[in-house]
Chain A
Amino acid sequence: MKRAEIISQLNEIFEDIIDEGSVSLSETSTSNDVDGWDSLAHIQLIVAIEKTFNIKFSSDEILSWNNVGEMIDCILKK
């Protein structure tokens, strides 16, 4: 799967979970750039991403990402 495809899927997930209008993620987006992406939403996002891509993150990974790009690296590794 290409990184651009993953970003567009992540966009949909973020919009659904955060539910505060449209989101446009880039590789360098962090929680500071997206309204409503707080620590609670983060937990929900992880579970939704795991379900969508049918993968399982480790507890290290969940706590380690600094931006969306690192999240995508992690998805691609699975």
Chain B
Amino acid sequence: MTFNELKKNLKKDFTDFKPLKLALLGDSATQFLAQAIRGAGYNQQFDINVYDADFNQVDRQILDLSSELHTFQPDIILIFEAGHMLLQKFNKTEADIHAAFAENQINRIRHLVDTLQNNLKTKVIYFNYAEEDDRVFGNFANKVPSSFIFQQRKLNYLLAEYATTNAALYICDMSAIQSKMGRELLFSPTIYIASEMVLSIDSLPVIAESVVQIIAAFQGKFKKCVILDLDNLVWGGVIGDDRLDNIQIGGLGIGKAFTEFQYWIKKLQQRGIIVCVCSKNTESVAKEPFEKHPDMVLRLKDIAVFVANWENKADNIKRIQQILNIGFDSMVFLDDNPFERNIVRQNVPDITVPELPEDPAEYLEYLYTLNLFETASYSSEDANRTEQYQKESERVAVQFSFTNENDFLKSLNMLSDVQSFNSFSTPRVAQLSQRSNQFNLRTVRYTEEDIKRIIASKRYMTFSFTLEDKYGDNGLICAIILEEKKPKELFIDTWFMSCRVLKRGMENFVLNTIVDYTRDKGYQTIVGEYLPTAKNALVKDHYSNLGFIQHDDFWLLQTATYQPKEYFINTKGNLKL
């Protein structure tokens, strides 16, 4: 989209879109960037209300706690300092401290971000700096710590390093945008002279889209799964016709393109993206390369759900979705065949189906440009996800062999570890709070910082639940936050659960656990609330199913008269609450 098209979005109807407050601070004029961000938000159904500070007020707005910024109470603060302005700052610095320029800047940035985070409950997105090489030293600058380009690159590195230690600080990678677009396209000197704006009109949509992708990830809108066709996507040629020896893969010719594509998928899988296969093939034939071809990077253990048959792909994808229990909007389908792509697009609502280029040599470069897998969190547990879904496939298969649901649940030998939130579970609780859409009663999103605050507060009681069974360990899958709003009464601020463990009686076990615990502490009433979203209809009747009584918009349960529910989950060790 062009900037002018984004600007026209501003006149459209934002009713029913998710409202968000974003403050934009910059050291150059940012009116266009503000418009572009609101316009790009429209495309993702966000009603982004932008407070655009007057330019060159970054420090004042942040450090003055009574400034417009602090009064505005933004959800997100976006700080845009331009590479061009950084160079001006460097120019005005005494030459003898040029070698300490990056360190001094990062200290200033740390102070700004700390001040924000101590005073506003907000996420901060900081742009890193586009390169502006003044060529004072030419290539030799790389050997001179006091050169501008040396300091500018060091600052980008220090900024990334700082972000690894600050959970609520995110970096928008302007340097990557510049390397993709080119410096001449990003910065227009004539426009800068006439307007104090450092971004070209043509770069605005790209930059705004990048910001909105980060914001979407904050809101839980991100991709969790990629579904692959096989022939002419994962390898060159048709396995059913060409046979194992003749498919193209490996170090030669076009084979390189497929091998490199596989390495990319492998890295996504290692990051926690679920990789599935959906191919029109005989299953044994389709699996052969994964088992036997020496040059295959992807192996069967990397594939969470493998579907190869002759039925139509839209139906097969719906089957995969049932096993994974994630929204279609979090799935990406890759297929070289335009016909299959269209069938899937028409029959599977909300799934992302990239229009791959015809030449396999161009697949990867094209896929990089789409930035499909933006995320707002990463934990080491993500990497185990494939195994967990493979086990879920097994469980689904075994479940069919039991006629009685309870017999099946008993046979699973389920164990749960119940604890209050602690420093070990905090990252996972925060991550699940960002990711859970379907089994989430109020869909309040919490960051790690928020969870730490809740743990520290006496007003809250927290519970985390893990679940393991004879097929394996699902890890932490459910979290409860109770808030004492009135004496003797607890409000269920948060109840979310991973959809991996639906239909195991986990809800009953969780409710028994909280009622027992809170009754012992002298609480009489537990109050639930269901806040509907586009995705959580699954738990619409959650509280009525569990025996809560409706009272206006809330659901009440009396602990004294509570009848414990049946469940088949044993507690692992003692409750550590």
Which of A's residues lie within 8 Å of B, judged by CB?
16-17, 19, 39-40, 43-44, 46-48, 56-59, 62-63
Contacts and interface: CB of A to CB of B under 8 A. Distances in A.
B4 A43 contact: no
Contact of A39 (B3, B7, B190, B195): B195
B11 A19 contact: yes
A59 B8 contact: no
Given A40-B32, A43-B195, 20 more contacts: A19-B4, A19-B7, A19-B8, A39-B195, A40-B195, A43-B194, A43-B201, A44-B3, A44-B4, A44-B32, A46-B191, A46-B194, A47-B200, A48-B4, A56-B190, A59-B189, A59-B190, A59-B193, A59-B194, A62-B190
A63 B197 CA distance: 15
Contacts of A40: 31-32, 195
Contacts of B200: 47
A17 B195 CA distance: 17
Interface string B187-227: 01111011101001110000000000000000000000000
Contacts of A56: 190
Nearest to A56: B190
B198 to A, nearest CB: 12
Main secondary structure of the interface of A (DSSP, over half): helix
Identify the interface centre among B4, B189, B197, B200: most chain A CB within 10 Å of its CB. Answer: B4
Nearest to B191: A43
B546 to A, nearest CB: 53
Contact of A58 (B190, B197, B202): B190
A58 B193 CA distance: 10
Nearest to B194: A62
B201 A44 contact: yes
Identify the interface centre among B31, B194, B202: most chain A CB within 10 Å of its CB. Answer: B194
Interface string B1-35: 00110011001000000000000000000011000
B26 to A, nearest CB: 15
A16 B195 contact: no
Contact of A63 (B4, B7, B194, B201): B194
Contacts of B11: 19
Given A16-B4, A17-B4, A19-B8, A43 B197 contact: yes
Interface of B: 3-4, 7-8, 11, 31-32, 188-191, 193-195, 197, 200-202
Contacts of A44: 3-4, 32, 201
B4 to A, nearest CB: 6
Contacts of B201: 43-44, 47
Contacts of A58: 190
A-B interface, 9 closest residue pairs, ranked by CB to CB distance from nearest: A59-B193, A59-B190, A62-B194, A47-B201, A43-B195, A40-B31, A63-B194, A59-B194, A43-B191
27 contacts: A17-B4, A19-B4, A19-B8, A19-B11, A39-B195, A40-B31, A40-B32, A40-B195, A43-B32, A43-B191, A43-B197, A44-B3, A44-B4, A44-B201, A46-B191, A46-B194, A47-B191, A47-B202, A48-B4, A56-B190, A57-B190, A58-B190, A59-B194, A62-B190, A62-B193, A62-B194, A63-B194
A16 B190 CA distance: 22
Contacts of A59: 189-190, 193-194
Nearest to B11: A19
A46 B197 CA distance: 14
B311 to A, nearest CB: 49
Contacts of B195: 39-40, 43
Contacts of B191: 43, 46-47
Contacts of B193: 59, 62
Contacts of A16: 4
A16 B191 CA distance: 20
Nearest to B8: A19
A46 B32 CA distance: 14
Contacts of B7: 19
Contacts of A43: 32, 191, 194-195, 197, 201
Nearest to B202: A47
B34 to A, nearest CB: 11
